[in-house]
Amino acid sequence: MSVKQRQLVIAGNWKMHKTRPEARELAGAVRDALETERDLPAVVLCPSFTSLEPVLQVCVNSPLAVGAQNMDHRDSGAYTGEISPPMLLELGVKYVIIGHSERRQFFGETNATVNLKLKAAVRHGLIPIVCVGETVDERENHLTDAVVSRQTAAALDDLDAAQLSGLIVAYEPVWAIGTGKVCEAVEANRVAAVIRSTIGNLYANRDLAASIPVLYGGSVKASNIDEQLAQPELDGALVGGASLNAEEFVAIIRSAQKKVQPAAAKS
Ligand code: PGA
């Protein structure tokens, strides 16, 4: 499969921002800007749990999909404060972010819990966006490739190739998240290739690895997205802060849209 055949994805991770009315307004502004557009990348809005329902309502019959920022791996039970995959599915959620570095850093998530959540997403047909990435210390100690490979392999433990068909991976260097320090596009491209070769080696299947979209995340803005999208190994972005502003987020989506159109025109 050629690089251009992979789906481009622009996902907005709203983190712990926006009340329900604010979320409705932001989703509405993005929808209004894109409603009549064709040849868009996959656009995914990931609001907080409490705003999933209003955002889903705003996105009905629009090109926008909705994702959760996290979930538990179990279906139900005495797990106070948790949200299960069936609860998300029942709302109409299609995507779920798994293993974001803030979950790993502040909420005790490990490679093992990421693996359990990925298996749960696959079991329930949610499209997983699995986040991997090194800290600044790991980068300075030349551990980037080892860390990213280990996180990728651990996330995929016990999954067979057929279960990877909807998988999306996001390379998010921790030092680039929310800091304004964007990873150089050529370097992000190199690490995306490391992620793909890890998957290719694990399954002895380079075509499988070549079919999986790898996004870049970390201080993405309208002013730096073009460089990332110009890289052959990168297929879009997981956007935090810049996704909270409709104009900025739509500008990022339009940059990706420019990449979608030539492929669509050919078919
Ligand atoms: P940022 O966050 O764009 O604000 O750096 C990205 C993310 O955490 O997914």
Nearest CA to ligand 1 atom 2: 240
181 lines ligand 1 (CB under 6 A): no
Q: Which atom of ligand 1 is nearest to the CA of 176?
A: 5
174 lines ligand 1 (CB under 6 A): no
Mean pLDDT of the residues in the chain: 95
Nearest CA to ligand 1 atom 3: 240
Per-domain residue ranges for the chain? 3-266
Give the residue-averaged pLDDT of 15-33. 98
Distance 228 CA to ligand 1 centre (A): 14
Give the residue-averaged pLDDT of 161-187. 97
Nearest CA to ligand 1 atom 1: 240
217 lines ligand 1 (CB under 6 A): yes
Residue 2 pLDDT > 80: no
* pTM to 2 decimal places: 0.96
> 225-260: per-residue pLDDT in tens?
999 999 999 999 999 999 999 999 999 999 999 998
pLDDT at position 4: 42
Q: What percent of the chain has pLDDT over 70?
A: 96
> 116-161: per-residue pLDDT in tens?
999 999 999 999 999 999 999 999 999 999 999 999 999 999 999 9
Assign 3-class secondary structure to the chain: CCHHHCCCEEEEECCCCCCHHHHHHHHHHHHHHHCCCCCCCEEEEECCHHHHHHHHHHHCCCCEEEEECCCCCCCCCCCCCCCCHHHHHHHCCCEEEECCHHHHHHCCCCHHHHHHHHHHHHHHCCEEEEEECCCHHHHHCCCHHHHHHHHHHHHCCCCCHHHHCCCEEEECCHHHCCCCCCCCHHHHHHHHHHHHHHHHHHHCCHHHHHHCCEEEECCCCCCCHHHHHCCCCCCEEEECHHHHCHHHHHHHHHHHHHHHHHHHHHC
> 11-20: per-residue pLDDT in tens?
999 999 999 9
Residue 87 pLDDT > 80: yes
- Write out the CATH class of domain 3-266: alpha beta
